[in-house]
Structure 1
Amino acid sequence: MTKINDAVKLVVKENPLYATMIKSGLVNYANLARKIQPTVESMTEKDVKINTLVKSLTQIKPETTWGKQIDLLRNSKLSLDYKYKEKLVPRPEDIDSKAIVAVRTPQGFKCLMGGMDDGDLALIKIELPEDASRSPGLTLFVVEYLMLQKVNIEKIYRFDTEIILTARQEDAVKILEHLSNLIYRSKV
């Protein structure tokens, strides 16, 4: 049977997001404890309280190899734009020039349209450095981080050196704030 502290350290070490969050100082220990609780309980074969996990998490000393994802994000550009909406068109030739992204669906082509007066979505764009295209897991890292912060994202698009997130306009500033904290204020 594994000790609780050992199980927590292993779970954190094996997950780049958890490791980076602890190293950066931007972690919400209670949320992270809730997230890892089932895994730790499975590893230790006993019930573990959230407070015990929080205490274990706060005692972890970050390793120097943690934080590669944030290093890549630090060299990124972050932007926010409003008045976007999704539109479904039946054929590719019906895609409007205002479309930012078009995705084939069984019903036709779903387009993300920009500059729409009746648009209720916001677009958060992360323009990544060139070497980020060779770094797997960066989009997952960003999305998992935002999930830990309990913010709602509508859609995620990843291109070579861009991550585009869409969200309701009322959630956009909160998402941008969390991303800014991750990218520009973390201690990594």
Structure 2
Amino acid sequence: MIKISEHVNQIISSSPFMLEALAEGLVNVSSLARKIQPDVEKAAGKEVNSSAIVMAINRMPLGDLLHLDKNLRLFFRKMTDISVRSGLLDYTFLNSETLLAKQVELLNAISEAAKVFYSFSQGVSETTIVISESMGTKLEEIFHSEKMLVKEKDLCSISLMLPEGNQAIYGVYYYILKELALNGINLVEMISTSNEYTIVLSNRDLDKAFSLLMGLRHR
């Protein structure tokens, strides 16, 4: 039979923001207990006293979360570089038998241009291309026969050069995305390689996002 404490752990652990706020002492435990009481009772299949939930919350093992936060802070202090690119466009096309050939044609055109930002991501049914505005007209000329699903403009990117070994530390992307989400910054695209993580966002969010990400290096 599952104990009340186990139900409480599962419910709170399903919300990273709640768990982190609890670990940092930002949550009133009694209020939290009352908030999750209906969920605990539903999971337990019976009425549960709020004082029992308070006790379960206070006994939660939060040490691992605090240790992870410390490791991530140390990790981001080693981040070597943050770079910004402006003047980007974002296109999404429906996948087709001819789309790959169009990408090859576009790459040939890009090879003749200087300092062009280009990234593409192919999914099961659609492909997204992020490219410098200077190549927008050429891209639309090459892809004119393809079905365009989305076009977004007035975009920029922020690229983080992550320390080596970032693949061995869990929570790296969450730590970045949490900071942006809590400050109301929406992302258009995310692009990653082994040691580089790039976010594409609206120009209006650039200053705020850049400041937040720079702040990760000084915590």
Matched, 1:176 2:173: no
Alpha-carbon shift at residue 73 of structure 1 (Å): 1.6
* Residue matched to 1:100: 118
Aligned residues: 170
* 2:83 is aligned with 1:71: no
**1:11 to 2:12 alignment:** yes
What's the offset of the Cα at 1:166? 0.5
| Alignment map for 1:41-60 (pairs within 5 Å) | 42-43=39-40
Q: TM-score by structure 2 length? A: 0.55
C-alpha contact 1:157 1:163 (8 A) present in aligned 2: yes
Q: RMSD across aligned C-alpha pairs, in angstroms? A: 4.5
AA of the residue aligned to 1:86: D
- Further displaced range: 116-125 or 141-150: 116-125
Task: Note closer, same or farther for the CA distance 1:158–1:91 as it changes in structure 2 (3 Å cut).
Answer: closer
User: Which stretches in structure 2 are left out of the alignment for 5+ residues?
Assistant: 48-56, 93-98, 137-152
- Give the corresponding residue for 1:122: 156
- Verify the 8 A CA contact 1:17 1:141 in the aligned structure 2: no
Does 127-136 or 115-124 show the bigger shift?
Answer: 115-124
Give a deviation string over 1:5-61, Cα, whole Å, max 9, x none: xx58x937x8777666777x7x9879xx99xx66x7524779xxxxxxxxx9xxx9x
* Bigger CA radius of gyration: 2
Gaps of 5+ in 1: 47-55
Percent of aligned positions that are identical: 13
> AA paired with 1:112?
V
SS of aligned partner of 1:80 = strand
Q: Is the 8 A contact 2:91 2:128 kept in 1?
A: yes
- Measured in 2, the distance between the counterparts of 1:2 and 1:20 equals 21
Q: Give the distance between the partners of 2:207 and 2:200, measured in 1 at CA.
A: 12
